[in-house]
Chains A and B, each alone.
Chain A
Amino acid sequence: MPSPGHPATRRHLTWWALAAVPVGFLALFFVWPLTAMVGRGLVDADGGLDLAGTAAVLGEARTWTVVRSTLTLALLGTAGSLALGLPAAYVLYRLRWRGQQVVRALVAVPFVLPTVVVAAAFTALLGSQGIGGGLGLDQSVLAIVLALVFFNVTVVVRIVGATWAGLDPAAVAAARTLGASPRRAFRHVTVPSLLPAVGSAAAVVFLFCSTAFGVVLVLGGTRIRTVETEIYLQVNQFLDLRAAAVLSVVQMAFVALALGAAAWARRRRERTQAGHRIDGSRVATRADAPLILTTLATLALLLATPMLALVERSLRTSSGHGFDHYVALLEQPQRTVLAVPIWQAGVNSLLTATVAAAIASTLGLIVAHLMAHPSRRSALLDTLVMLPLGVSAVMVGLGMLLTLNRDVVGVDLRGSWWLVPIAQAVVALPLVVRTLVPSARAIAPSLRHAAATLGASPARVWRTVDWPLLRRPFGLAVGFAFAISLGEFGATSFLARPDRPTLPTAIFRLLGRPGIENVGMAFATAVVLAMLTAGVMMASERMRTRVGADL
């Protein structure tokens, strides 16, 4: 056993001391609320575990029906997102061409659009009067899968794209020099280096797909039931906390499954990557045109058409088309449809998202640093951080009300504004971590060792070795966290006060009242939210190239 003064022990202590920050945050704002809800459902009157009740829920046929349909949808959604996302990651990140930044930003927009709006856009597209009306996709499984891909393709593009852009072309060039065909070089050099990122992206997308709520209900015409919709039904309609708790545990098993698979893929293929993490992108040539055009056309078909449908609806007035609803965003809505004008909700959104992004990216940076070396404890931390992706917002939202709506260690959190950005940060954190970890792991340990050997303190090693290499992905992660927080609806709807709506909660409220002014304003607000998101993503992309140029 090393003594307390031993460097190894000190490193352990530092690791755990640092880990206490994100772990404490998640324990307080995620694990505690969730445990409270699950506990209420699973603990019987005597305070023991209600095993008979749990078994009863697990024994019901409908439980397994929803588990099956959840798995099917999640697998199809993940497969679709990878099929479109991988070529898109190559075209948008590995290649360089004019205008790609705009496309990169646009691809991220669907991810943050409120599901109510996306569902309406898809219905406008696939309904009998839509362009795709003849396809008979309305209220079908395929419609849901398309919407899942619409939402999640950006996750694949960003996580894989960031890694792809940083791969050293010299490795492929070396393989080619040694006589490998382009295909062989791709399979044996590029693919293994990309796999960790692909595994990460697939795990995240799988989790998003398995907890999708709004799209499944709206686009499936409520015919397809998943674990998530079943939890909502059990809580909201029947207040059956036992069934909800059992289903939540099942849902967490999904998380473990997806994370385990991703970790397995990573471990199996992870190689100590070379430390020279460089800008490996190259200018597109004429030969790339077919791939670029095909990818762009597919993206346009899937992503742009629903968004155009959205814009069209926002312009529709009772007397044709016009900008009436956009003008209305600046005014106090008629009577009191909303407590504040939409621009004010926009200010609220920007403010909350700023705080949320600050929290999420700070915590994310700490987590990425702690996970820089693969180990058992870092895998544990990874699982904890990812867990929020796989848990129903209904459970967490209710749990937060149960546990946090009171004095917590002397701080009165009742109706506190801070709960909103905190909840959004919990949601954004996994994505921040996923964006940062591949880059953190790509930093060669030899660099750090060299610096340490030369007498640099751990803080100085981090500042001079890690940070310059993490800055670029960090900029992207901040932008992504900000965008996610802007569009977050599930948890926000539980916590945002009615007099301080955010853009998504304002949209939801506007969609709850009859009259073309309200629905028009809802769609106009959605377009503004989409443009804000695109702006944020574009700004973070811009930062990316500047930083890239430094290197």
Chain B
Amino acid sequence: MSSIHARTSLAALAAATLLIAGCTTTDQASPSPTDTSPAPSTPEAATGTVTVVTHDSFAVPDEVLAAFEESSGLTLEFVAPGDAGSLVNQLILTQEAPLGDVVYGVDNTFASRALDAGVFESYIPEGLDPSVAEYGLEPGTLDVLTPIDFSDVCLNYDLAYFEDSDLEVPTSLDQIATADYAPLTSVTNPATSSPGLALVAATVAQYGEDWTTFWEDASANGMRVTASWSDTYFTDFSAPNYGGDYPIVLSYASSPPSEVIDGEPTTAALLDTCFRQVEYAGVLQGADNVPGAKAVVDWMSSDAFQETLPQNMYVYPVSPSAALPPEWVEHAQLSEDPATLSPSRIDAEREEWIDTWTSVVLD
């Protein structure tokens, strides 16, 4: 009980401090975030508690968090109400009484929905590296959502299987759909799994209108579909750590470092089958602690936080100056030319893709 009371009074204190400081920058009446003039850059010190809303994969090392809390004078609280999709939905549903002050983990497959609903306050971290702009969503959105990390959803394969087999390692999606490779492949359903949707997006990006042909062929040739990434990866993957039946599975370009045994890699990613996912942070409209929220976005853009991303969330930092861990330098590879699609198109066509995919692959 005591902790709840402590939190209540802290929040009340924070709110009172803001009122005294005359900080009423939150213009709730503005119809959309893009119309809001940028808030004046923090003249008042950020203090009090900041509630950070994340997806359920969020992780940060204690010492890095403690260092930030000490230097900023802020106390961070985290709420994680589900995966990336339900995170965005909850932000939209709770718009009038936001779940927190700042969000991390909105990705490019769901960002558009949140942007359209106007759940973000405009903010661009000071001194954001200009190269980060390439991860921006679409023109004009970088002032609302700050890119934090990215990852490539790619097919992974079992090295030993192809060493022992007469089959060559496949190099393209075209090959995956054939009778040689489709029966060896386990992927996830786009309706229930975000990597599954990324793979559909990759086929749309590569084949355009004819994307269903890939799925018709793959399905007819016996490609396996599961409900979630953990089913495909942990249960189906034939890599030595898991012992399943499928040497090709849908995962991430960053997965192979986790499968290194005695210094030797046992899996690798097929880098020409990838779709790039980007994750963003943003200040929430109606936040209690706007200065604190902005300070958190600044921190997440800083190398101190960026360098923790690979080992804690298996994603790449967007900051060009953030150092990668040695095993990533050695065993993780990025796609040179990953598929991308505009978030607004993903959002507009998601339902049609999933319906079409379902009728082609499952029915």
Residues of A within 8 A of B (CB): 40, 116, 119-120, 123-124, 127-129, 217-218, 221-223, 229, 232-233, 235-239, 316, 318, 335-337, 339, 398, 401-402, 405-406, 412, 415-418, 493-494, 497-499, 508-509, 511-516, 519
A239 contacts which of B60, B61, B77, B92 (Cβ < 8 Å)? B92
Is B61 within 8 A of A402, CB to CB? Answer: no
A-side contacts of B191, CB under 8 Å: 222, 233, 237
Task: With a 10 A CB-CB cut-off, give which of B81, B234, B311 has the most chain A CB atoms.
Answer: B234
* Across-interface contacts of B235 in A (CB, < 8 A): 120, 123-124, 127
Contact of B231 among A119, A237, A415, A508 (CB under 8 A): A119
Q: A119-B231, A417-B4 are in contact. Are A128 and B245 (CB under 8 A)?
A: yes
A-B contact pairs, 28 of them (CB 8 A): A40-B93, A120-B234, A127-B245, A222-B191, A222-B226, A222-B227, A237-B85, A238-B350, A238-B351, A318-B261, A336-B60, A336-B61, A405-B97, A412-B11, A415-B51, A415-B77, A417-B3, A417-B4, A497-B80, A498-B54, A498-B58, A511-B230, A513-B57, A513-B314, A515-B259, A516-B241, A519-B241, A519-B242
Establish whether residues A497 and B231, one from each chain, have CB atoms under 8 Å apart when the complex forms. no
Contact assessment for A514 and B255 in the assembled complex, using a CB-CB cutoff below 8 Å: yes
Contacts A336-B62, A398-B90, A513-B258 aside, 7 further interface pairs with beta carbons under 8 A come to: A229-B192, A318-B240, A401-B90, A406-B97, A498-B54, A498-B58, A519-B241
Interface residues on B, range: 35 or more
Residue of B nearest to A122 (CB): B235
Q: Mark B90-107, 1 if CB is under 8 A from A, else 0.
A: 101110010100000000
**Chain A residues with CB under 8 A of B94:** 401-402, 405
Q: Tell me whether A412 and B8 are in contact in the complex, defined as CB-CB below 8 angstroms, given that A123-B235, A222-B192, A516-B242 are known contacts.
A: yes
Residues of A within 8 A of B4 (CB): 412, 416-418
Cβ proximity bits B31-64 to A, threshold 8 Å, 1 near / 0 not = 0000000000000000000010010111111100
Chain A residues with CB under 8 Å of B236's CB are: 127
- Say yes or no: B245 contacts A217, CB within 8 Å: no
Output the least CB separation between B11 and chain A (Å). Answer: 8
Q: Shortest CB–CB separation between residue A494 and chain B, in angstroms?
A: 6
B227 touches A415 (CB 8 A): no
Taking a contact as CB atoms under 8 Å apart, the answer to whether A222 and B314 are in contact is no
Query: In the complex the two chains form, what is the Cα distance from A328 to B191 in whole Å?
Result: 34
Instruction: Judge whether A218 and B354 touch: CB under 8 Å.
Output: no
Known: A218-B228, A237-B85. A512 touches B234 (CB 8 A): no
Bound form: Cα–Cα A532–B311 in Å: 32
Can you list the 7 inter-chain pairs with the closest CB atoms, starting with the nearest? Answer: A515-B258, A217-B227, A516-B241, A514-B258, A336-B59, A222-B189, A498-B80
Using A123-B235, A497-B79 as known contacts, say yes or no to A237 and B354 having CB atoms under 8 A apart.
yes
State the CA gap A418–B94 with chains docked (Å).
20
Closest Cβ neighbor of A512 among chain B residues: B57
Task: Point out residues on B near A: beta carbons under 8 Å.
Answer: 3-4, 7-8, 11, 51, 54, 56-62, 77-83, 85-86, 89-90, 92-94, 97, 99, 113, 189, 191-192, 224-231, 233-236, 240-245, 251-252, 255, 258-259, 261, 311-312, 314, 350-351, 354, 362
- Tell whether, in the assembled complex, residue B113 and residue A239 are in contact, meaning their CB atoms are under 8 Å apart: yes
Cβ B230 vs Cβ A129 within 8 A: no
Q: How far is the CA of A127 from the CA of B236 in the complex (A)?
A: 9
Q: What residue in chain A is nearest B92 (Cβ atoms)? A: A239
A336 to B94, CA, bound (A): 29
Cα A269 to Cα B178 with chains together (Å)? 61
- Which residue of chain B is the closest to A121 with respect to CB atoms? B235
Closest to B77 in A: A415
Contact B311 A335 (CB under 8 A): yes
Whole-angstrom distance between the alpha carbons of A402 and B94 in the complex? 6
Closest to A133 in B: B245
Q: Is the Cβ of A221 less than 8 Å from the Cβ of B225?
A: yes
A124 to B244, CA, bound (A): 9
What residues of B have a CB within 8 angstroms of the CB of A415 in the complex?
A: 7, 51, 77, 79
Among residues of A, the one whose C-beta sits closest to the C-beta of B56 is A509
Q: Is the CB of A405 within 8 A of B99?
A: yes
Given contact pairs A222-B227, A514-B259, A318 touches B189 in the complex (Cβ within 8 A)? no
Q: Which residues of A contact B228 (CB under 8 A)?
A: 116, 217-218
Which residues in A have their C-beta under 8 angstroms from that of B83? 236
- List of A residues within 8 angstroms of B11 by Cβ: 412
A508 to B89, CA, bound (A): 20
A119 contact set on B, CB distance < 8 A: 231
CA distance in complex: A405, B4 (Å): 13
Contact among A120, A402, A512 for B229, CB-based, below 8 A = A512
List A contacts of B60 (CB < 8 A). 336
Q: Known interface pairs A123-B231, A318-B240, A514-B314. Does A221 touch B99 (Cβ–Cβ under 8 Å)?
A: no
Contact A511 B234, beta carbon cutoff 8 Å: yes
- Measured in the bound complex, the distance between the Cα atoms of B354 and A229 in whole Å is 14
Q: Is the CB of B314 within 8 A of A218?
A: no
Q: How far, in whole Å, are A128 and B233 apart by their CA atoms in the complex?
A: 16
CB distance from B182 to the nearest CB of A (A): 15
**In the bound complex, CA of A217 to CA of B193 (Å):** 11
Residue of A nearest to B5 (CB): A412
Q: How far is the CB of B236 from chain A (nearest CB, A)?
A: 8
Find chain A residues with CB under 8 A from B113 CB: 239
CB-CB nearest in chain A for B252: A514
Q: Given known contacts A239-B92, A336-B312, A498-B54, is B227 in contact with A218 (CB within 8 Å)?
A: yes
Answer whether A218 and B231 are a contact pair too, CB < 8 Å, given A398-B90, A401-B94. yes
B250, chain A: closest CB distance, angstroms: 12
Question: Once the chains are docked, how many angstroms separate the CA of A455 from the CA of B252?
Answer: 75
- Contact of A129 with B62 in the complex, beta carbons under 8 Å: no
Residues of A within 8 A of B354 (CB): 233, 237
CB distance from A1 to the nearest CB of B (A): 46
Question: Complex Cα distance A534/B226, Å?
Answer: 30
With contacts A498-B79, A511-B234, A514-B258 taken as known, whether A398 is within 8 angstroms of B245 at the C-beta atoms is: no
Once the chains are docked, how many angstroms separate the CA of A461 from the CA of B60? Answer: 58
Given A222-B189, A236-B85, A337-B59, also A401-B92 (CB < 8 A): no
Centre residue among A229, A405, A498 by max chain B CB count within 10 A: A498
Given A120-B234, A398-B89, A398-B93, A494–B227 Cβ distance below 8 Å? no
Check A221–B227 contact: CB distance below 8 A: yes
Which residues of the other chain, A, contact B229 by a CB distance below 8 angstroms? 512
Nearest chain B CB to A460's CB is how many angstroms away?
34
Name the B residues within 8 Å of A235 (CB-CB).
Answer: 86, 89
- Cβ-closest chain B residue relative to A216: B227
A residues within 8 A CB of B79?
A: 415, 497-498
Measured in the bound complex, the distance between the Cα atoms of B104 and A121 in whole Å is 34
- Is the CB–CB distance between A497 and B78 below 8 Å? yes
Instruction: List residues of chain A with CB within 8 A of the CB of B241.
Output: 318, 515-516, 519
Which one of B227, B240, B241 has the highest number of Cβ atoms from chain A below 10 Å of its Cβ?
B227
Q: Select from chain A the residue with minimum beta-carbon distance to B254.
A: A514
Tell me the bound Cα distance from A318 to B97 in angstroms. Answer: 48
> How many Å from the CB of A252 to the closest CB on chain B?
21
- B192 close to A498 (CB less than 8 A): no
The smallest C-beta distance from B263 to any residue of chain A, in angstroms, reads 12
For the complex formed, measure the closest distance between the CB of B15 and the CB atoms of chain A, giving whole angstroms.
12
Instruction: Decide: B311 and A514 in contact? CB cutoff 8 A.
Output: no
